Structure 1
Amino acid sequence: MGIPGLTTFIENRADLYMDDCKLHDTNLVIDGNSLACQIYQQCGSNMCFGGDYDKYGNILMMFFEALFKCKITPYIVFDGGYETRKMKTIIVRMKNRIQAAEKMSKMYNHHASVFPLFIRETLRDIGLKWEVNMVQCDFEGDTDIANIARRLGCPVLSYDSDFYIFDGLYIPFSRLDMTVRRNVDLTTKMQYNFLNCKIYNVDKFLCSYGRVDKSNLPLLAVLLGNDYVKRSTFSMFYQNLKTQSCHGRHKSESQNRIKSVLVWLENETRESAIIKVLGRYKKEKRQRILDNINNAIKGYNCFDSIYLKYLGISPPDVKSKEECIDFDKLGDIEEPSEPEEDNEKHSESDCDQEIIFPEDQEDSTLPTVFKENFRKCLYPPCFMDIFFRHKYYCIAQVEEVSAENAYIVSFDIIAAIFKILTGLCEGLSCVGRVGSKVGKMDVPTYHDPLPTLEEIETMDSEERLKVFFKILKLDYSFKTHLSSFPYSWHLYILAIKYAIDRSKLSWPLIYALIVSKIILSCIDYRTGFIRSVATFMKKHAAKLSMPLENRDMAIDPKDVSDCLNQLSTMDAIHCMNSLLQYFQKDQKVASSSKFFDRRSVHSISEFQSILLHLKYLNNLLKQPFHDFSVSSCLNCTFVYNFTANLSKRTNIETYLDGLLCKAPTVLNTLHVIINSIKEFSCVTVENTNPPPKKRKKKKKSTSTVIPDEHSNNDSEGEPWVDSNNKFSLLKS
């Protein structure tokens, strides 16, 4: 949810409404969706290439480490599926993100936020490593987050303006300093760690406006508008409201509106305020408006949650009281003195109108297996939308607008997931980018028989593995190709196999994906997690200047696990010395969009779609393969830059032999993995890029031939140069 302008209003007066706090030895309820977005923005990663999950994962690890050093026990609560009453808002946001993604692909430095696909998954995976208590709500989670925090008597950490309305302790994420500090308890003389933060004080906020009654807080939220009730619903109320002005830099229409409503509420009880609001409208509209107000009161004043048991928390002793306002008990309501204007209508494109679906049966009984796994965060939130609405809402990515949506390559996997969840062969629609707009895409029918959720629970791992291969249309013998890889690589290699078969990945991209995985899962453990060239040289310059040793490698050329285990620390250092530059932003691409290869980014987006839905399918089938964290697989800035470099090499292997000559164990591992991929590729592919075409002689005409901007050779050059390599996956 969200109340427009309220966060800015409070932040501009933080010294008045917030108290300094040393956070330690306490519970902390965390809004998981908000945390994922805020942490990713803090890690300084690029969004235009698809996500730097290694940097994001590293910041998350530091965040949880800081909490536990200060003896802060986190409870993470995620949102679930979309609520029907929010559908219009969801579609509008999807449209805005698609537009932001399109601009981002044209302007490298565009500041809009297009969050990567895996940010929630990464938070969940790292939370599991730290054994954090986590739960996923069936739908919107704000009310339950507030209720759980009330039950524990602890603050909420989020960045959602609704928590200014809930009567509880609230720490805005922008007001938390993650630097661990030490202090001494004056009573016990014992040292303790703490985090500096500011906690919102609702009593100070209300006292600033003549002690507004707390019971009026939900009414304040409704009148200002949120994702459920549009402010235009109360246009007649605002026409008769005396306008108050904020001063100085705080002055704006939205800020003035908030102050005006607060000043008006100073001398009103909840009932008197509701009577005056309803008095601005005709009788036939009053009950509907009161229903909106009652829904808000119920949401903001609830003190119980069905999710407490999933966090190991006992329920409260006192149940929530029903505080709805009865229309018949409000008394006489005056008739409006002015004719009522209808300002509730707003324009929508025909495409958007098709996306707004009718009411769904959200009160249907959830299957026990589904409910338990969903709430334990074993299923992604999209499963609730698939189950209830037979709709799948695609998260916007940076893509080639003229190409098909990057999710389409995964439709066979999504269709199988739909059949397992619902038992239906057809009827699933995906809502997402169609061209540059929001549209619906029908998912193909899945005809083959698949087990139900209940049957999956009784199947052994071998049977579930066979189902997995069946859905991917792979022979069960493919298992032998995976046997030489570590378990944590299996889904990643399957994603590459699937992408080769369905989207015909280019070899430069395949190499980049494999090198990214080697660095993030193995090299970083040997060199330390470093992405700054200056920091790397400060730590490893002395070792880089040491003479190279002669190393005789006795490694089975077919066993990837052995190769990875025998990577030497010195080779890891030399490898990162050669490749660290590809993790950095490129100023040439930043200065001109013509150097930004949107086809390459689209290919990366397709691969991420495949990898994400294989992870979903694996979880649905109770993990016949070991799960993985994408933070140990993908840095998309590196993948993009290294792909661009390799795409201009006539022979990739020859080029890599020179680039990694000082890291022979790394080079050997890479060759072993690539040879394994060649073995199971469906088509014969050459590990080379086509030589540049010969220029034709100019004919006497008015037209001119523009030469290729980049030559295709094996020399060292700018690693950022755009690729001439054609990506056959794109369809106009």
Structure 2
Amino acid sequence: MGVPGLSGFVEKRGAFLVERRVRDTKLVIDGSSLCYQLYFSSAAADDFRRGGDYASFSSCARSFFAALRACRVSPCVLLDGGRGPADRKRRELARRARQRLETARELGRAGNGAAADRKRWGGGGALLLPLLARDAFVQALRALGVPFVQCFAEADRELAGLANRWGCPVLSLDSDFYVFEVAGGYLPLSHFQWRGVRGEEGGYVPARCFCAESFRGHFGHVGRGLLPLFAALNGNDYVDAAAFEAFFGGVRLPAKRGKESRLQGLLRWLSQFAEPAEAVDNVLKHVKKHLREEMRELLHAAMEDYAPSDVNLEDFFRDGRYECEDAKKAGVPAWVHDAFTRGELSPLVIDVFILRSTFLHVQVENMRRPSAHSTALPIRQVIYGLLLGAPPGAQAASPTKESNKPPVVCEFDRLQSTLKKTYIQAASLPADFCDGHFSLDKLIEVPMSCRRMLLLETLGVKMSSLEPFPSHLQLPVAVTCYWIRHSEPKVKLHQLKALLLMIVSGELHRITNDPDPTDLCTEDDRIAHNVFLEWKEKKLQNKDFDLDAAHGFCQWQCCLKMGLYLNQLLCTPLPEPDLSSRLYSGTLVHRLHQELKSTPSLENLFGLSPKMTQLYQVLLNMVES
């Protein structure tokens, strides 16, 4: 959620943010805020237009949690899940998607100073999180052993509830936590100086903590239960403030105009009431009679959003149990919900299953071409078929056809630079899959060989073609083959070679920096790696941003993301690739692509390592064939 203008309002009045030395405590962390903040405070932020640098991002996450460890802080991360059964945030999500599309369009047209000139932490949609950043973040949490849970819907209430159970602070960048009553306090991420840990023996993270009691007292002792009404009247992700313009026109607020004056006036007006019910009655006096009950329900629902959840996440972190009534009511199979809470399935899965709707991620691509997501459409259709049970051999359907036709999913994606919703038919599953008697709740019981066959058939490859490659590269290789066949316009050879060289560079880094007893690093490999690093350090003469190349690499990432999600839904018949292992670096692949156009001999960049040369050739031959 979020209350417009409230963060700036609090920041300007520094007395509400008191210094705190964070150490020897549990810390409940808003994972969505942390993912965003860490990405754009890492080296990966330097060029996010080119599609992400997940290794740098993962390295930043490791440093963050190492800093907490040094101060004996025990983190617990809560991630947002799906949109929730009521889908109350859909209008706000559509607004943000339009804003991001405008940002992406400007970034695609801008010169090379665009990234350097951006404003950090501001402008709402001014920064675009790369496509796989959230997936890389979840992998990093798992690899680091950080306790985390993916909530069924938005995590705010669970964050407040768990923090209150433990009596510890919440770390977030969400202005709603100025409204929640968190006993241990709210630590804004913007003031959490984890890079500046102080004190060697008794180390601590310098931070600032929001003091709700001081805040309420400053404005005439606003009652404890009145801040949720303040947030609802001001407007948030669920409530449009325009609904209460009649109220603001009818009460006496400061004559001085502006958002901050309005916030201050509203707080002082609320301070005259002892209880929320009395204040609500007074608000409704300024609303037309025939709208009062509707507005009362709207206010009560909005205020309930700030009641800490009674879901006991302690049970999850103690023994893995997460009871969720909304999931049960929606008929989510137990194994799907369990995997979802562990972050093994994407929010897309829950949104499609419950709402038959999903928003596709905005990227910097060529807006004159079809969306990069269209390349991965057949993979998404199989995901939809598995989730919604499309009958074998069913014919095409529209949203208005009979229920025995394949179900459809509403996708929000771009048409040029405009947000558009399209109804997509779920794919019919092969007749021999589960002998034509498929049900999602039994998918986990389907033999591994059948699940792998469905994955490989969707991607259009045979297992025998993947066997020459390390297991962790099999899914990316299969996805690359799929991309070559489905990409429009067709992938150019130097674009393919740049992508494969990037994958090989990741493998070379892996064997030289994380030696595997079964994959020994030779002296030739070390020399080749040093040569590669020297090449990377050279300054590129021409740093022009190639929008068409970016579009192609966006397509590949879309295919990888949906290949990853299909693999997860099928309970990983192929090993999940490690996104932090330099599998994709937008900066690197764009540079390789640019230099290959003028210097074809760059293809021999890893020529000093016979092992890497062979890997590159096998990759190229397999994908081209």
Question: Normalization by structure 1: what TM-score?
Answer: 0.74
Aligned residue number for residue 547 of structure 2: 598
Out of 157, 175, 187, the residue aligned to residue 143 of structure 1 is 157
Secondary structure of 2:187's match? strand
Q: What is the CA–CA distance in structure 1 between the aligned matches of 2:288 and 2:618, rounded to whole Å?
A: 74
Q: What is the CA–CA distance in structure 2 between the aligned matches of 1:392 and 1:7, rounded to whole Å?
A: 29
Per-residue CA distance 1:25-58 (angstroms, 9 max, x = gap): 2111111111111111111331211112121111
Q: What is the CA–CA distance in structure 1 between the aligned matches of 2:328 and 2:419, rounded to whole Å?
A: 24
1:466 aligns with 2:453: yes
Q: What is the CA–CA distance in structure 2 between the aligned matches of 1:116 and 1:496, rounded to whole Å?
A: 19
1:239 aligns with 2:249: yes
Q: Is the 8 A contact 2:128 2:362 kept in 1?
A: yes
Farther off after superposition, 152-161 or 504-513:
504-513
Farther off after superposition, 132-141 or 164-173:
132-141
Q: What is the CA–CA distance in structure 1 between the aligned matches of 2:511 and 2:566, rounded to whole Å?
A: 29
CA shift for structure 1 position 515: 2.7
Q: What is the CA–CA distance in structure 1 between the aligned matches of 2:312 and 2:340, rounded to whole Å?
A: 13
Aligned residue number for residue 378 of structure 1: 344
Aligned residue number for residue 166 of structure 2: 152
Secondary structure of 1:197's match? strand
Out of 454, 478, 491, the residue aligned to residue 441 of structure 2 is 454
Q: Is the 8 A contact 2:500 2:620 kept in 1?
A: no
Out of 302, 305, 327, the residue aligned to residue 299 of structure 1 is 305
Aligned residue number for residue 273 of structure 2: 268
Q: Which runs of no fewer than 5 residues in structure 2 stay unpaired?
A: 119-125, 391-405
AA at the equivalent of 1:383: V
Out of 413, 416, 420, the residue aligned to residue 379 of structure 2 is 413
Out of 371, 395, 403, the residue aligned to residue 369 of structure 2 is 403
Q: What is the CA–CA distance in structure 2 between the aligned matches of 1:237 and 1:512, rounded to whole Å?
A: 60
Change (3 A) 1:308 1:453: farther
Q: Is the 8 A contact 2:511 2:520 kept in 1?
A: no
- Structure with the greater alpha carbon radius of gyration: 1
1:93 aligns with 2:43: no
CA shift for structure 1 position 671: 3.1
Q: Is the 8 A contact 1:70 1:180 kept in 2?
A: no
Per-residue CA distance 1:285-331 (angstroms, 9 max, x = gap): 11111112211332212351154432228999xxxxxxxxxxxxxxx
Change (3 A) 1:617 1:483: same
1:576 aligns with 2:558: no
Per-residue CA distance 1:484-514 (angstroms, 9 max, x = gap): 3222211111121111222243222222223
Q: What is the CA–CA distance in structure 2 between the aligned matches of 1:655 and 1:125, rounded to whole Å?
A: 32
Q: What is the CA–CA distance in structure 2 between the aligned matches of 1:366 and 1:233, rounded to whole Å?
A: 35
Q: What is the CA–CA distance in structure 2 between the aligned matches of 1:227 and 1:133, rounded to whole Å?
A: 28
RMSD: 2.6
CA shift for structure 1 position 141: 1.5
Out of 566, 586, 595, the residue aligned to residue 645 of structure 1 is 595
Aligned residue number for residue 563 of structure 2: 614
Q: What is the CA–CA distance in structure 2 between the aligned matches of 1:220 and 1:138, rounded to whole Å?
A: 27
Q: Which runs of no fewer than 5 residues in structure 1 stay unpaired?
A: 185-190, 247-251, 317-359, 529-560, 590-594, 684-732
CA shift for structure 1 position 138: 1.6
CA shift for structure 1 position 681: 3.5
CA shift for structure 1 position 20: 1.3
Change (3 A) 1:656 1:35: same
Change (3 A) 1:647 1:447: same
Change (3 A) 1:27 1:62: same
Secondary structure of 1:89's match? helix
What does residue range 199-348 of structure 1 map to in structure 2 within 5 Å?
Answer: 199-244=209-254, 253-269=258-274, 270-305=276-311, 307-312=313-318
Aligned residue number for residue 104 of structure 1: 107
Percent pairwise identity: 25
Q: Is the 8 A contact 2:30 2:79 kept in 1?
A: yes
1:7 aligns with 2:16: no
Out of 508, 512, 518, the residue aligned to residue 494 of structure 2 is 508
Q: What is the CA–CA distance in structure 2 between the aligned matches of 1:484 and 1:565, rounded to whole Å?
A: 20
Q: What is the CA–CA distance in structure 1 between the aligned matches of 2:346 and 2:410, rounded to whole Å?
A: 17
Q: Is the 8 A contact 1:45 1:52 kept in 2?
A: no
Q: What is the CA–CA distance in structure 2 between the aligned matches of 1:2 and 1:512, rounded to whole Å?
A: 41
AA at the equivalent of 1:179: R
Q: What is the CA–CA distance in structure 2 between the aligned matches of 1:671 and 1:148, rounded to whole Å?
A: 52
CA shift for structure 1 position 374: 1.5
Q: What is the CA–CA distance in structure 2 between the aligned matches of 1:587 and 1:38, rounded to whole Å?
A: 31
CA shift for structure 1 position 461: 3.0
CA shift for structure 1 position 682: 5.5
Aligned residue number for residue 28 of structure 1: 27
CA shift for structure 1 position 622: 1.0
Q: What is the CA–CA distance in structure 2 between the aligned matches of 1:305 and 1:362, rounded to whole Å?
A: 14
Q: Is the 8 A contact 2:370 2:415 kept in 1?
A: yes
AA at the equivalent of 2:416: G
Q: Is the 8 A contact 2:38 2:60 kept in 1?
A: yes
CA shift for structure 1 position 565: 6.6
Change (3 A) 1:259 1:445: closer
Q: What is the CA–CA distance in structure 2 between the aligned matches of 1:255 and 1:48, rounded to whole Å?
A: 34
Secondary structure of 2:95's match? helix
AA at the equivalent of 2:172: S
Per-residue CA distance 1:103-162 (angstroms, 9 max, x = gap): 101114333212111111111000001111111122221111111111111111110000
Change (3 A) 1:565 1:9: farther
1:61 aligns with 2:47: no
Change (3 A) 1:303 1:95: closer
Q: Is the 8 A contact 2:504 2:615 kept in 1?
A: no
What does residue range 165-176 of structure 1 map to in structure 2 within 5 Å?
Answer: 165-168=179-182, 169-176=185-192
Q: What is the CA–CA distance in structure 1 between the aligned matches of 2:467 and 2:547, rounded to whole Å?
A: 35
Q: Is the 8 A contact 2:502 2:588 kept in 1?
A: yes
CA shift for structure 1 position 678: 3.8
Aligned residue number for residue 548 of structure 1: none
Q: Is the 8 A contact 1:24 1:195 kept in 2?
A: yes
Secondary structure of 1:179's match? helix
Secondary structure of 2:372's match? coil
Per-residue CA distance 1:200-249 (angstroms, 9 max, x = gap): 11011111112111111111111111011111111011113333378xxx
Aligned residue number for residue 207 of structure 2: 197
AA at the equivalent of 2:618: S
CA shift for structure 1 position 261: 0.6
Change (3 A) 1:432 1:72: same
AA at the equivalent of 2:532: C
Farther off after superposition, 437-446 or 610-619:
437-446
Q: What is the CA–CA distance in structure 2 between the aligned matches of 1:180 and 1:171, rounded to whole Å?
A: 16
AA at the equivalent of 2:445: T
Aligned residue number for residue 123 of structure 1: 137
CA shift for structure 1 position 566: 6.7
Farther off after superposition, 95-104 or 515-524:
515-524
Secondary structure of 2:572's match? coil
Count of residue pairs the alignment pairs up: 577
AA at the equivalent of 2:175: S
